């Protein structure tokens, strides 16, 4: 689900860039949502933490 939503938001970002909407409010909304989504998934799922380790 996270991968599909990330791909969907990527399409929305490209559409907002093409139209010329404001950057921080409209265009980067998909990025904000994706960071929150993947951050929550990172905290919840051990497999994602193994895939993206932040500790040394």
- Show pLDDT as tens, one digit a residue, over the chain (56 residues): 888 999 999 999 999 999 998 988 888 899 999 999 999 999 999 999 999 888 76
Helix (H, G, I), strand (E, B) or coil at 41: helix
pLDDT of amino acid 7? 93
pLDDT of amino acid 56? 62
Does the residue 16 lie in any domain?
yes
How distant, in Å, are the alpha carbons of 13, 35, 46 from that of 7?
10, 13, 22
pLDDT of amino acid 26? 87
Residue 46 belongs to domain spanning = 2-51
Helix (H, G, I), strand (E, B) or coil at 25: helix
Does the residue 39 lie in any domain?
yes
Domain count of the chain? 1
pLDDT of amino acid 2? 87
Does the residue 56 lie in any domain?
no
Does the residue 13 lie in any domain?
yes
Does the residue 46 lie in any domain?
yes
Radius of gyration (C-alpha) of the chain in whole angstroms: 14
């Amino acid at each position: 689900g996270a991968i599909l939503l990330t791909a969907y938001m990527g399409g929305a970002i490209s559409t907002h860039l093409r139209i010329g909407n404001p950057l921080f409010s409209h265009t980067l909304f998909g990025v904000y949502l994706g960071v929150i989504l993947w951050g929550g998934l990172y905290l919840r799922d051990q497999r994602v933490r193994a895939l993206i380790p932040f500790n040394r």
